[in-house]
Amino acid sequence: MGFDDVLGNSRVRKVLRLALQKGRVPNSLLFTGPEGVGKKSLALVLAKAINCLKRHDDACDECAACRAIEAGRFPDVQEIKPEGQIIKVERVREMRQLAYLRPMAGEKRVFIITEAEKLSDASANTLLKILEEPPFFSQFILITHNPDLILSTIKSRCQILPFVPISKAEIAGALEEKGYPEDRARIIALYVGGNFGEALDLEWEEIQEKRREAWTIFRSFLKNEEPASFLRNYGFVRRSIVRDDLEKTLKIMASFCRDLILVKEKGDPGLLLNPDFAGDIRTLENGWSLEQCWRCLGRIDAAISGLNRYMNMSLIISAFYSLLGEDTYDRDRLSRF
């Protein structure tokens, strides 16, 4: 895998290649961004590119160094990761000893510190001392999805490269290249919200079950049925553990709502996000007006952005219902929940 084989984040890839071409890769890098967007893959490509025997600004994937790094058996490339909930200070001390020894086989020693937010206080302080005077033949790549938990003194010693979620089109395209049928690739891309790692891990049946559940909830909104099961699942019982789950459900509901709008506006059926639900969606065509559909979509988007800002789950759900309630529910009945 070389720079061109990593999905998304073309800006980060460009920055790293330019730095390699100029021979000026900063000693300490911090890759930040959501999970599943290729931070570790890119760290490995960089480790290969630095030590590649054939190329100087990319991995050739053919030379002995590239192949050994890919297989995880190159002595100068090491990963430091948490054991349980923390990265132990012993691991960082071992890294310090190695970091000041010249590389055994390659151009540079590369240390990839994954889940760097889990450095214990002692580990972080030991790492800070290394980063204050890094040996020129050692390269440090810290990876985290939560830079707020990294000491500011460590951050200030690193060049920070922020990664962004991968676009739906890129994920769908990559899945199709791997042999997924087009419809399925598009649905998975919609479901994972920019996390390609999750797209590869997901079981199709798991997604289908979630979609069926979201469909039942969406349909119950339009048919003015009891919202009890939705609230029982998400509003007041399980709370934080279901935050991600709720976000996914809402995103799928939004996709059904978009499809319903498309159907009502007599749009091109080829543009349906859920083509396999086309028949079901058509049965709801005469329910809400277009205006009500757009308002529902707006509410779903607002609830998703509330979740992303870590608003209280019950508040989000209540706001969601009270606004939908203007169309479909009477407040007396809602007050029972």
66 counts as binding Zn ion under rule CB under 5 A? yes
35 neighbors 197 (Cβ within 8 angstroms): yes
Of 35-43, 50-58, 187-195, 329-337, the window that binds Zn ion (rule: CB under 5 A) is 50-58
Size of the site for Zn ion (CB under 5 A): 5
Spatial strand order in the sheet of 138-144: 77-80, 109-113, 138-144, 28-32, 159-162
Q: Give residues with Cβ within 8 angstroms of 75, minimum separation 6.
A: 104, 105
The CB-of-53 to Zn ion minimum distance in angstroms stands at 5
Separation between Cα atoms, residue 131 and residue 128, nearest integer Å: 5
Of 63 and 307, which has the nearer Cβ to Zn ion? 63
1 counts as binding Zn ion under rule CB under 5 A? no
29, 126, 130, 194, 220 from 94: Cα distances, Å: 20, 11, 12, 36, 58
Alpha carbon of residue 85 to chain centroid: 20
Closest CA to 93 of 117, 111, 115: 111
Of 50 and 300, which has the nearer Cβ to Zn ion? 50
174 counts as binding Zn ion under rule CB under 5 A? no
The CB-of-188 to Zn ion minimum distance in angstroms stands at 32
63 counts as binding Zn ion under rule CB under 5 A? yes
The tokens of 301 are what?
A: 């988007």
Choice from 15, 60, 98, 160 touching Zn ion (CB under 5 A): 60
The CB-of-70 to Zn ion minimum distance in angstroms stands at 9
Total Cβ atoms within 10 A of residue 231: 17
Q: Where are the alpha helices (DSSP H) in the chain?
A: 10-21, 39-51, 64-70, 89-99, 121-132, 152-155, 168-177, 182-192, 196-201, 204-222, 228-230, 243-264, 278-283, 290-308, 313-325, 331-334
Of 54 and 81, which has the nearer Cβ to Zn ion? 54
The CB-of-55 to Zn ion minimum distance in angstroms stands at 6
Of 42 and 52, which has the nearer Cβ to Zn ion? 52
The CB-of-107 to Zn ion minimum distance in angstroms stands at 11
The CB-of-104 to Zn ion minimum distance in angstroms stands at 17
Of 57 and 176, which has the nearer Cβ to Zn ion? 57
Of 3-11, 57-65, 82-90, 135-143, the window that binds Zn ion (rule: CB under 5 A) is 57-65
130 counts as binding Zn ion under rule CB under 5 A? no
Of 63 and 128, which has the nearer Cβ to Zn ion? 63
Separation between Cα atoms, residue 57 and residue 22, nearest integer Å: 9
The CB-of-58 to Zn ion minimum distance in angstroms stands at 8
Of 107 and 225, which has the nearer Cβ to Zn ion? 107
Separation between Cα atoms, residue 119 and residue 29, nearest integer Å: 16
Exposure on the CB side of residue 212, measured as CA atoms within 13 A: 6
160 counts as binding Zn ion under rule CB under 5 A? no
Of 3 and 196, which has the nearer Cβ to Zn ion? 3
| Residue indicated by tokens 């553990």 | 241
The CB-of-114 to Zn ion minimum distance in angstroms stands at 23
The tokens of 256 are what?
A: 């059904």
Of 60 and 231, which has the nearer Cβ to Zn ion? 60
52 counts as binding Zn ion under rule CB under 5 A? yes
The CB-of-39 to Zn ion minimum distance in angstroms stands at 21
Separation between Cα atoms, residue 116 and residue 29, nearest integer Å: 12
Residues in contact with Zn ion by the rule CB under 5 A: 52, 54, 60, 63, 66
